A and B are shown apart, each in its own frame.
Chain A
Amino acid sequence: MNRLTFLLRKEFRQIFRDKIIIIMMFAMPTVQLIILPLAMDFDVKSVNLSVVDHDHSTYSQQLITKIASSGYFKMVGAEASYRDALTYIEKGKTDLILEIPAGFERNLVREGAQKIGISADAINGTKAAIGGNYLNTVIASFNAGLGINVTANLTSPPASIIDITWSNWFNPLAEYKYYVVPGVLVLLLTMIGGFLSALNIVKEKETGTIEQINVTPIKKWQFIAGKLIPFWIMGMIVFTLGLLVCRIVYGITPEGSIPLLYLFAAIYLIALLGFGLLISTYSNSQIQAMFTAFFFMMIFMLMSGLFTPVESMPLWARSIANLVPITHFIKVVRMIVLKGSGFSDVQPELLYIIGFAIILNGWAIWNYRKTS
Chain B
Amino acid sequence: MIQSLSIINRQLSIKCENITKTYNKGELLAVDDVSFAVEKGELFGLIGPDGAGKTSIFRILTTVLLADKGTATVAGFDVVDDYRAIRNRVGYMPGKFSLYQDLTIKENLEFFATVFGTTIEENYELIKDIYDQIKPFNNRRAGKLSGGMKQKLALCCALIHKPEVLLLDEPTTGVDVVSRKEFWDMLKKLKQQGITILVSTPYMDEANLCERIALIQNGKILSVDTPQNIIKAFPVSLYAAKADNIYKLLTDFRKSDFVASAYASGEYMHLTLKEDKPDSIRMLTQYAAQHGHSDAEIKKITPGIEDSFIRLMQQPN
Contacts and interface: CB of A to CB of B under 8 A. Distances in A.
Interface stretch (B83-91, B294-302, B308-316): B83-91
Contact of B101 (A7, A207, A216, A372): A207
A14 B102 CA distance: 7
Contacts of B92: 212, 215
A114 to B, nearest CB: 76
Interface in A14-57: 14, 17-18
A370 to B, nearest CB: 12
Interface residues of A, number: 21
Given A6-B114, A13-B103, A207 B98 contact: yes
B111 A217 contact: no
Contact of B115 (A14, A18, A217): A217
Contact of A6 (B84, B94, B115): B115
Nearest to B112: A216
A3 B117 contact: yes
Interface in B110-125: 111-112, 114-117
A7 B98 CA distance: 16
B63 interface: yes
A7 B112 CA distance: 10
Contacts of A209: 98-100
A371 B157 CA distance: 26
Q: Which of A14, A17, A212, A372 has the most CB of B within 10 A?
A: A212
Contacts of B101: 207
Interface of chain B, main secondary structure: loop
Nearest to B115: A216
B158 to A, nearest CB: 9
Contact of B102 (A17, A213, A215, A372): A17
Contact of A216 (B87, B96, B97, B107): B87
Interface residues of B, number: 25
A217 B116 contact: yes
A214 B117 CA distance: 16
Interface string A193-229: 0000000000000011101111111100000000000
A106 interface: no
B56 interface: no
Contacts of B116: 216-217
A10 interface: yes
Contacts of A372: 64
Contacts of A214: 62, 64
Nearest to B65: A372
9 contacts: A3-B117, A17-B103, A18-B102, A208-B98, A209-B98, A209-B100, A211-B94, A215-B64, A216-B87
Interface of B: 62-64, 84, 87-88, 90, 92, 94, 96-103, 107, 111-112, 114-117, 157
Given A7-B115, A214-B62, 9 more contacts: A10-B103, A10-B107, A207-B101, A208-B98, A211-B96, A215-B92, A216-B115, A217-B115, A217-B116
10 cross-chain pairs, A with B, having the tightest CB-CB distances, nearest first: A208-B98, A6-B114, A212-B98, A215-B92, A215-B62, A208-B96, A214-B64, A216-B115, A211-B94, A217-B87
